Amino acid sequence: MLKSNIALTLITLALLAFLVGRSYSTPEPNQKLAEYVDIDRFMGKWYVHGYTPTFLDRDAFGGIEEYEMGKNGKVLTTYSFKKGGPKGKRKTYRPRARVKNTKTNAVWKMRFFGMITANYYVVYVDENYQETVIGHPNKKYAWVMSRDSNITPERYAGLKEELHKRDYDLETFKRMAH
């Protein structure tokens, strides 16, 4: 039983690496990003309103992403959600990030499970740091977030438009309820 659990975990990690594209270098952005991200203002709680599901967060409900600046310039991240609906079990993941482009602070390298890395783009953040759109170089993974658990359909559509303008593949992108 223990061997099958270990094997399943290793297969899962390998699949995650394949899905998000493991890379050790940070390529030049292939899309327009936020001109400048004030890291201190960006830290804090963000409610996830739209996302591209992965095997980790399929059927997520009430997603919250929180950022805190840690020691040595690492961004401590906590991503939590309820699996399957409002009564689902709370799942929590704690990836870590480093800001890779300190001129704009819009390119991060996110590390999952201590070994899988993925580029993380701050595609858009409004001037009041109340709404943001996060993307990925492959243009298949994205997140729409705000500081409030409620967002109007019009505002959500406007933020999703930021992804359309950058030619994101939104076939599997979905709205997340709160």
Q: What is the pLDDT of residue 38?
A: 98
∠35-138-51 over CA atoms, to 5°?
80
Question: Among 156, 75, 38, 104, which Cα is nearest to 65's?
Answer: 75
Q: What is the pLDDT of residue 2?
A: 55
Q: What is the pLDDT of residue 28?
A: 79
Question: Among 166, 156, 113, 104, which Cα is nearest to 135's?
Answer: 166
User: For 1-54, what is each residue's pLDDT tens digit?
Assistant: 555 544 444 344 444 444 444 444 556 789 999 999 999 999 999 999 999 999
The 10 Å CB-count burial string (b at 16+, else e) for 79-90 is: bbbbeeeeeeee
Strand runs (DSSP E) across 42-106, as ranges? 44-51, 60-69, 74-83, 90-93, 96-99
User: For 47-93, what is each residue's pLDDT tens digit?
Assistant: 999 999 998 899 999 999 999 999 888 999 999 999 999 999 999 99
Residues in Cβ contact with 92 at an 8 Å cutoff, skipping those fewer than 6 apart:
78, 79, 80
Question: Among 43, 26, 13, which Cα is nearest to 109's?
Answer: 26
| Mean pLDDT value across residues 106-127 | 93
Q: What is the pLDDT of residue 92?
A: 97
Q: What is the pLDDT of residue 1?
A: 58
| Mean pLDDT value across residues 143-152 | 98
Q: What is the pLDDT of residue 113?
A: 87
Question: How many CB atoms are closer than 10 A to CB 140?
Answer: 17
Q: Which of 14-28, 96-110, 120-134, 163-177 has the lowest mean pLDDT?
A: 14-28
* pLDDT confidence band for 116 (50 / 70 / 90): confident
| Mean pLDDT value across residues 92-102 | 96
- Name the CATH superfamily for 2-175: Calycin beta-barrel core domain (2.40.128.20)
More confident residue, 151 or 28: 151
